[in-house]
C-alpha cells in the first residue's frame, strides 16, 4: 500500500466539515460571555462547546462530533499557548497506535512512523477507518479489548484477517488475495464516486468508466449563500468536462443529518438521521431543488455528456413520482433514485416506468436496516457490509431492478472491498462505484473473475448466517 500525502481530499473534507461547525455564529455567541468575563480564547471555546454539547442532549451523532471538535479546540489552545500538542508520536521507529477512539484531526496527523492503528470503537464507515484507508495505514476498528493491549508489546495488525495478534509475526499475516486480471474489462462496470472537480480529475487518471455518484452537497458544505443557477451550471459543467469517459450519475443535494449545508439553514433536530434530509428537503427548498435540476440540465447541454440524475433518501412511491416530475420539468431524461431506506425496497415493483436506474447506498441502507447510526462508535459491527441482513437485501433489490428491466449499481463504501464487489456482481448488480483511490483495485478484482465464480461467491455469501462466515466463505474461493 502506498502512503498518500497528509491532507488528502477525503481527510480535508472531514476536517472542513468540522471547521464549519467551529465557525458557527451560535457557538461564537456562546463563547462571548466567557470572554467578556475574562476567560482567554481557549477557555471560552471549551466552555461554549460544553454548553453546545449539553443543548444537544443525548444525540450520539452530535456528541461524537463535539468530541471531534474538542480535539481541534485542544490543538488551537495548545498553539495559542505555545505548547507542543498532538499525539506526540516520535517520527522515528515504527508505532502502532491503540486508542479507544481517535478524532479525525489526530488520525490525519499520523506520519510514516505509524504503521498500524487499533481502536476499540468505530465502524467501517467511521472517520478513523476512512482516513486510515486514505492514508494507507492498516487499521482495525471496533476491536473489542483493544485497550487491554500493553504498551511496548509487539502486535501484528492484520486487517485482512480482521484481527490483531500479540507477538504475531508479519509472516503469519493473512495473505491479501492478489487478483490477477484475466479479462480486458471488469465483469461489471466500475465507476468513481466524486465530490467535486479535484475528485473528477483524480478519477480520470484511474480505470473508472464514468462516475457512479457525484455528491453535489460536497460543493456546498461551507456555502452560506445559495448559489445561482449560473454558478451551479458552471461548476457542474467543469466537473462533467473533467470526469472520466462513460456515464455520469449526479445526485441532487443530500444535505441534513451529518452533512451541513449552511445556506439551507436546516434546523437542529433531535434525531437528524431520521429527520428532514436528502429528498425530504424538497418540501422546504423546492426553489433550490428546481434550480439545481435546471443547472444540471444546462451542464448536460453544454457538455453533451451521458448523465443520469438521482435523488437521495427516498422512501415512498409518491416521492419518486414527485422527483421524476421535477426532472421532466427541467428536461432531464435519465432519472434514478438511491436505494437507502428499507421502505423503498418492497415497493420497487410500483416504480415501473418512472426510473431509468437505481443505485444502492449501502452506507445508509445498513444504518436504517439495522437501526444503527453509521457513525456510532459502538455499533460498527452492525454496519459491517458482510452482514447477511444487508447482503440478502441487496439480492432482493437486484431482483426487483431486473424485474423493472433497469440497471442497478452499488455506490456505498462496501463496493470498495474487492471481494464484496465480486459478490455484488454475482448478485446481479450491474455496476459499482467507489472512491477514486479504490477504483483500480476493484477493477483488477473484477477483471480476474468470470461470471461463474462471481455467482458462486454470491451463493456462498448468501448462505452464511454471520458476517465473518460470509467473508470467510467467499475468501476461501480465492485461497
Q: Supply the residues annotated as catalytic.
A: 127, 411
413 is a contact residue toward Mg ion (CB under 5 A): no
Which regions of 129-227 does DSSP assign to beta strands (E)?
Answer: 139-140, 155-158, 163-166, 189-194, 211-215
Restricting to residues 336-355, name those near Mg ion by CB under 5 A. Answer: 340
Distance in angstroms (rounded) separating the CA atoms of residues 395 and 390: 9
Distance in angstroms (rounded) separating the CA atoms of residues 218 and 335: 21
- Residue in the block written with cell 476498528: 141
For the bound state, the minimum distance from the C-beta of residue 340 to Mg ion, rounded and expressed in Å, comes to: 5
362 is a contact residue toward ligand PEP (CB under 6 A): yes
- Residue 268: all three cell numbers together: 437542529
Q: What is the CA radius of gyration of the chain?
A: 23
Give 401-443 as a DSSP string.
HHHHT--EEE-SGGGGSHHHHHHHHHTT--EEEE-HHHHHHHH
373 is a contact residue toward ligand PEP (CB under 6 A): no
Contacted by 351, from Mg ion, ligand PEP, none: CB < 5 to 8 Å by type: none
Q: Which stretch binds Mg ion (CB under 5 A): 26-34, 75-83, 362-370, 414-422?
A: 362-370
In this chain, which residue has its C-beta nearest to Mg ion?
A: 364
Q: CB-based burial of residue 242 (10 Å sphere; 0-12 exposed, 13-18 middle, 19+ buried)?
A: middle
Q: Which stretch binds ligand PEP (CB under 6 A): 70-78, 109-117, 134-142, 357-365?
A: 357-365
Q: Which of 44, 123, 412, 467 binds ligand PEP (CB under 6 A)?
A: 412
Contacted by 277, from Mg ion, ligand PEP, none: CB < 5 to 8 Å by type: none
364 is a contact residue toward Mg ion (CB under 5 A): yes
Restricting to residues 252-281, name those near ligand PEP by CB under 6 A. Answer: 254
> How many Cα atoms are found within 13 Å in the side-chain-facing hemisphere of 325?
8
User: Which bin fits 428, alpha (ψ -120 to 50), beta or left (φ > 0)?
Assistant: left
Contacts for 152 with CB less than 8 Å, ≥ 6 apart: none
Nearest CB to ligand PEP, comparing residues 213 and 449: 213
Distance in angstroms (rounded) separating the CA atoms of residues 131 and 239: 24
Within a 10 A sphere around the Cβ of 165, how many other Cβ atoms?
Answer: 14
Q: Which stretch binds Mg ion (CB under 5 A): 123-131, 261-269, 333-341, 351-359?
A: 333-341
Contacted by 119, from Mg ion, ligand PEP, none: CB < 5 to 8 Å by type: none
CA distances from 187 to 139, 429, 444, 450 (A): 29, 10, 10, 7
Distance in angstroms (rounded) separating the CA atoms of residues 375 and 281: 22
Distance in angstroms (rounded) separating the CA atoms of residues 360 and 340: 6
Distance in angstroms (rounded) separating the CA atoms of residues 70 and 47: 10
Within a 10 A sphere around the Cβ of 304, how many other Cβ atoms?
Answer: 8
The answer to whether the CB of 339 falls within 8 A of the CB of 388 is: no
Q: At what angle do helices 9-22 and 127-135 cross, to 10 degrees?
A: 140
Nearest CB to ligand PEP, comparing residues 243 and 411: 411
Using CB under 5 A as the binding criterion, the count of chain residues that bind Mg ion stands at 3
The answer to whether the CB of 415 falls within 8 A of the CB of 365 is: no
For the bound state, the minimum distance from the C-beta of residue 413 to ligand PEP, rounded and expressed in Å, comes to: 7
361 is a contact residue toward Mg ion (CB under 5 A): yes
DSSP symbol at 246 = S
363 is a contact residue toward ligand PEP (CB under 6 A): yes
Q: What order do you get walking across the sheet with 139-140 strand by strand?
A: 95-99, 114-119, 139-140
The answer to whether the CB of 138 falls within 8 A of the CB of 114 is: no
Nearest CB to Mg ion, comparing residues 259 and 305: 259
For the bound state, the minimum distance from the C-beta of residue 268 to ligand PEP, rounded and expressed in Å, comes to: 19
Q: Which of 75, 133, 215, 447 binds ligand PEP (CB under 6 A)?
A: 215
For the bound state, the minimum distance from the C-beta of residue 446 to ligand PEP, rounded and expressed in Å, comes to: 19
Q: Which stretch binds ligand PEP (CB under 6 A): 51-59, 175-183, 282-290, 356-364?
A: 356-364
- Residue 477: all three cell numbers together: 474461493
In this chain, which residue has its C-beta nearest to ligand PEP?
A: 361
Q: Which of 104, 122, 361, 380 binds ligand PEP (CB under 6 A)?
A: 361
Binding mask 184-213 vs ligand PEP (x if CB under 6 A, - otherwise)? -----------------------------x
For the bound state, the minimum distance from the C-beta of residue 268 to Mg ion, rounded and expressed in Å, comes to: 20
Binding mask 217-256 vs ligand PEP (x if CB under 6 A, - otherwise)? -------------------------------------x--
Restricting to residues 283-342, name those near ligand PEP by CB under 6 A. Answer: 340
For the bound state, the minimum distance from the C-beta of residue 254 to Mg ion, rounded and expressed in Å, comes to: 6
The answer to whether the CB of 192 falls within 8 A of the CB of 212 is: yes
Q: What angle do CA 222, 225, 226 make, to 5 degrees?
A: 105
Using CB under 6 A as the binding criterion, the count of chain residues that bind ligand PEP stands at 10
385 is a contact residue toward Mg ion (CB under 5 A): no
Contacted by 215, from ligand PEP, Mg ion, none: CB < 5 to 8 Å by type: ligand PEP
Question: Which residues in this chain contact ligand PEP in the complex, by CB under 6 A?
Answer: 213, 215, 254, 340, 361-364, 411-412
Question: Which residues in this chain contact Mg ion in the complex, by CB under 5 A?
Answer: 340, 361, 364
Amino acid at each position: 500500500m502506498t502512503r498518500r500525502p497528509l491532507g488528502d481530499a477525503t481527510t480535508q473534507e472531514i476536517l472542513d466539515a468540522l471547521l464549519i461547525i467551529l465557525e458557527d455564529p451560535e457557538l461564537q455567541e456562546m463563547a462571548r460571555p466567557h470572554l467578556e468575563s475574562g476567560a482567554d480564547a481557549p477557555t471560552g471555546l471549551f466552555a461554549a462547546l460544553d454548553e453546545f454539547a449539553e443543548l444537544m442532549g443525548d444525540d450520539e451523532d452530535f456528541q461524537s462530533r463535539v468530541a471531534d471538535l474538542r480535539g481541534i479546540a485542544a490543538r488551537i489552545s495548545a498553539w495559542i499557548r505555545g505548547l507542543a500538542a498532538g499525539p506526540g508520536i516520535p517520527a522515528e521507529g515504527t508505532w502502532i497506535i491503540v486508542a479507544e477512539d481517535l478524532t479525525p484531526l489526530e488520525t490525519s496527523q499520523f506520519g510514516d512512523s505509524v504503521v498500524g492503528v487499533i481502536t476499540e470503537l468505530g465502524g467501517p464507515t467511521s472517520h478513523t477507518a476512512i482516513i486510515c484507508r486514505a492514508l494507507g495505514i492498516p487499521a482495525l476498528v471496533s476491536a473489542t479489548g483493544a485497550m487491554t493491549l500493553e504498551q511496548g508489546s509487539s502486535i501484528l495488525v492484520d486487517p485482512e484477517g480482521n484481527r490483531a495478534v500479540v507477538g504475531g509475526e508479519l509472516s503469519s499475516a493473512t495473505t491479501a488475495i492478489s487478483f490477477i486480471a484475466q479479462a480486458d474489462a471488469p465483469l461489471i462496470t466500475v465507476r468513481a464516486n466524486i465530490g467535486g472537480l479535484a475528485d473528477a480529475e483524480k478519477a480520470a487518471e484511474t480505470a473508472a468508466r464514468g462516475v457512479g455518484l457525484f455528491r453535489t452537497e460536497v460543493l456546498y458544505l461551507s456555502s452560506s449563500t445559495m448559489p445561482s443557477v449560473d454558478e451551479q451550471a458552471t461548476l457542474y459543467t467543469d466537473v462533467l468536462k473533467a470526469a472520466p469517459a462513460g456515464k455520469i450519475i449526479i445526485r441532487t443535494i443530500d444535505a441534513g443529518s451529518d452533512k451541513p449545508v449552511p445556506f439551507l439553514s436546516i434546523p437542529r433536530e433531535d434525531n437528524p438521521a431520521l429527520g428532514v434530509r436528502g429528498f425530504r428537503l424538497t418540501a422546504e427548498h423546492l426553489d433550490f431543488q428546481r434550480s439545481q435540476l435546471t443547472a444540471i440540465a444546462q451542464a448536460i447541454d453544454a457538455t453533451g455528456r451521458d448523465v443520469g440524475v438521482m435523488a437521495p433518501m427516498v422512501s415512498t412511491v409518491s416521492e419518486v413520482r414527485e422527483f421524476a416530475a421535477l426532472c421532466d420539468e427541467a428536461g432531464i431524461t435519465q432519472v434514478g433514485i438511491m436505494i437507502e431506506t428499507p421502505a423503498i425496497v418492497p415497493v420497487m415493483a410500483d416504480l415501473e416506468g418512472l426510473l431509468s436506474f437505481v443505485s444502492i447506498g449501502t452506507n445508509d441502507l445498513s444504518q436504517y436496516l439495522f437501526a444503527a447510526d453509521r457513525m456510532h462508535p459502538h455499533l460498527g459491527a452492525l454496519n459491517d457490509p458482510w452482514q447477511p441482513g444487508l447482503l440478502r437485501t441487496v439480492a432482493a433489490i437486484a431482483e426487483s431492478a431486473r424485474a423493472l428491466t433497469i440497471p442497478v449499481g452499488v455506490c456505498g463504501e462496501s463496493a470498495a472491498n474487492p471481494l464484496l464487489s465480486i459478490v455484488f456482481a454475482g448478485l446481479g448488480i450491474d455496476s459499482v462505484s467507489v472512491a477514486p483511490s479504490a477504483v483500480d483495485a476493484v477493477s483488477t478484482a473484477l477483471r480476474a473473475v468470470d461470471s461463474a465464480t462471481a455467482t458462486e461467491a454470491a451463493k456462498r455469501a448468501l448462505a452464511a448466517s454471520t458476517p465473518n462466515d460470509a467473508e470467510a466463505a467467499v475468501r476461501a474461493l480465492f485461497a
